Amino acid sequence: MTSIEQNLQAVHARMAQACARCGRDAQAVRLLAVSKTFGPESVAQAFSAGQSAFGENYVQEALDKMAALTHLPIEWHCIGPIQSNKTRQVAQHFAWVHSVDRLKIAQRLSEQRDPALAPLQVLVQVNVDDGPNKSGVAVHEALALAQAVAALPRLRLRGVMALPEPQDTEEAQWAVHARARAVFEQLRASGLDVDTLSLGMSGDLEAAIAQGSTLVRVGSAIFGTRPSSG
Ligand SMILES: *Cc1c(COP(=O)(O)O)cnc(C)c1O
For the CA of 202, the closest atom of ligand 1 is 9
Alpha-carbon span 115 to 194, nearest angstrom: 22
Whether residue 109 contacts residue 97, with contact meaning beta carbons closer than 8 Å, is answered with yes
**How far does the centroid of ligand 1 lie from the alpha carbon of residue 216, in Å?**
9
Q: Can you give the pLDDT at residue 229?
A: 53
Q: Can you give the pLDDT at residue 167?
A: 87
For the CA of 203, the closest atom of ligand 1 is 7
For the CA of 230, the closest atom of ligand 1 is 1
For the CA of 79, the closest atom of ligand 1 is 13
**How far does the centroid of ligand 1 lie from the alpha carbon of residue 197, in Å?**
15
Query: Is residue 164 in contact with ligand 1, taking CB distance under 6 Å?
Result: no
Under DSSP, the state recorded for 14 is H
Choose one of 7, 34, 78, 229 to mutate for the ligand 1 pocket test, by most ligand atoms within 8 angstroms of C-beta.
34
Whether residue 216 contacts residue 200, with contact meaning beta carbons closer than 8 Å, is answered with yes
Walk along the chain (230 residues) and give the pLDDT tens digit of each residue: 789 999 999 999 999 999 999 999 999 999 999 999 999 999 999 999 999 999 999 999 999 999 999 999 999 999 999 999 999 999 999 999 999 999 999 999 999 999 999 999 999 999 998 766 679 999 999 999 999 999 999 999 999 999 998 888 989 999 999 999 999 999 999 999 999 999 999 999 999 999 999 999 999 999 999 876 54
Beta strand pairing status for 155-162 and 196-198? parallel
**How far does the centroid of ligand 1 lie from the alpha carbon of residue 115, in Å?**
30
Tell me the one-letter amino acid at 101.
Answer: D
**How far does the centroid of ligand 1 lie from the alpha carbon of residue 39, in Å?**
16
**How far does the centroid of ligand 1 lie from the alpha carbon of residue 92, in Å?**
23
What is the CA angle 193-197-198, rounded to 5? 135
Alpha-carbon span 72 to 85, nearest angstrom: 27
Q: Can you give the pLDDT at residue 224?
A: 95
Half-sphere exposure of 65 (CA within 13 A, CB side): 27
Alpha-carbon span 33 to 137, nearest angstrom: 24
Q: Can you give the pLDDT at residue 133?
A: 65
Q: Can you give the pLDDT at residue 34?
A: 98
**How far does the centroid of ligand 1 lie from the alpha carbon of residue 56, in Å?**
9
Query: Is residue 81 in contact with ligand 1, taking CB distance under 6 Å?
Result: no
